[in-house]
C-alpha cells in the first residue's frame, strides 16, 4: 500500500500548481563568477558542498575556515582547501567518481546566500596548497571547482528560520554530545566521557 495518497510525479503536475519562474528570476543566473560573487565569497567563512557518487548516493559536507579561505583563480575557477577531518573524505570519494558538485556560501548575519554549481577535481599542486596554509600548515588536498552556474538566493529561508537572530536560537539542553551519538551508533566499547575526550583532543591537535 502506498504511504501517501497524493504524490506529484511529473513536471507538468508540479508546474500546474507552482507556475513558471519569472524573467527576473531566470535572468539572475550566471555562467561565471561576477564581481558581486567575488566579494561574497571573499567574506564567507563557511560553505556547504553537495556531491554524489557514481550510483547517485548523495552527501552534503560543511567546510569552514577563516574569512577569505576560498581562493578565486579566475571567473570560472575557485579553490577550496580540504583540511584535516576524520578521513572518511566523503566529498573527495564522490568527486573521484562523479565531478558534479553544488555549493552554498553563507556569511553570518547576511540573509542572502550564494549558490554555485560546477565540476570539481582534486589537486595537490604544491604552490597552490602552500598558498592556503594556516599557521604554517598546508592542506594535503584542494578541491578545484570549474564554475558552470552561479546566482544569489533570496532571504526567505533565513527570514523564516531566524537563523542569525540569537534571540530565536533554540535551547540546546537535551541535545546529545557528538561523543554520545558515536558511542550509540557504533555500539562502541567506550564510555561517553572517554569518547568525548578523544573528540576534544582531536579538535585541539588536528584542526590544521
Q: How far apart are CA 180 and CA 160, in angstroms?
A: 31
Average of per-residue pLDDT across 84-101: 95
Q: How far apart are CA 106 and CA 115, in angstroms?
A: 9
pLDDT at residue 109 above 80?
A: yes
Q: CB within 8 A of 15, min separation 6: which ones?
A: none
pLDDT at residue 139 above 90?
A: yes
Q: How far apart are CA 137 and CA 181, in angstroms?
A: 30
CATH 3.30.70.60 for domain 29-161: no
The band of 173, judged by pLDDT with boundaries at 50, 70 and 90, is very high
The band of 1, judged by pLDDT with boundaries at 50, 70 and 90, is confident
- Please tell me the predicted confidence (pLDDT) of residue 65: 97
Per residue in 4-41, pLDDT (tens digit) is 999 999 999 999 999 999 998 899 999 999 999 999 99
What percent of the chain stands above pLDDT 70?
100
Q: How far apart are CA 65 and CA 182, in angstroms?
A: 24
Average of per-residue pLDDT across 114-136: 97
Cell reading at 24: 527576473
Q: Domain limits of the chain?
A: 29-161, 170-205
The band of 143, judged by pLDDT with boundaries at 50, 70 and 90, is very high
Q: Using the structure block, give the residue that is written with the C-alpha cell 566523503.
A: 90
Amino acid at each position: 500500500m502506498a504511504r501517501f495518497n497524493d504524490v506529484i510525479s511529473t513536471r507538468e503536475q508540479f508546474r500546474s500548481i507552482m507556475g513558471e519562474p519569472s524573467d527576473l528570476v531566470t535572468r539572475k543566473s550566471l555562467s561565471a563568477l561576477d564581481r558581486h560573487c567575488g566579494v561574497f565569497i571573499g567574506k564567507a567563512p563557511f560553505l556547504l558542498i553537495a556531491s554524489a557518487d557514481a550510483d547517485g548516493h548523495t552527501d552534503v559536507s560543511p567546510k569552514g575556515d577563516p574569512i577569505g579561505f576560498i581562493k578565486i583563480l579566475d571567473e570560472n575557477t575557485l579553490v577550496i582547501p580540504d583540511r584535516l577531518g576524520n578521513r572518511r573524505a566523503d566529498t573527495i570519494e564522490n568527486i573521484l567518481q562523479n565531478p558534479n558538485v553544488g555549493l552554498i556560501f553563507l556569511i553570518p548575519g547576511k540573509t542572502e546566500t550564494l549558490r554555485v554549481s560546477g565540476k570539481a577535481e582534486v589537486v595537490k599542486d604544491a604552490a597552490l596548497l602552500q598558498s592556503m596554509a594556516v599557521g604554517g600548515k598546508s592542506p594535503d588536498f584542494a578541491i578545484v571547482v570549474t564554475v558552470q552556474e552561479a546566482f544569489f538566493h533570496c532571504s526567505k529561508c533565513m527570514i523564516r528560520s531566524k537563523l542569525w537572530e540569537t534571540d530565536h536560537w533554540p535551547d540546546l539542553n537535551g541535545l546529545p554530545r557528538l561523543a554520545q551519538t558515536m558511542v550509540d551508533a557504533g555500539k562502541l566499547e567506550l564510555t561517553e566521557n572517554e569518547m568525548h575526550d578523544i573528540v576534544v583532543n582531536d579538535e585541539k591537535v588536528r584542526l590544521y
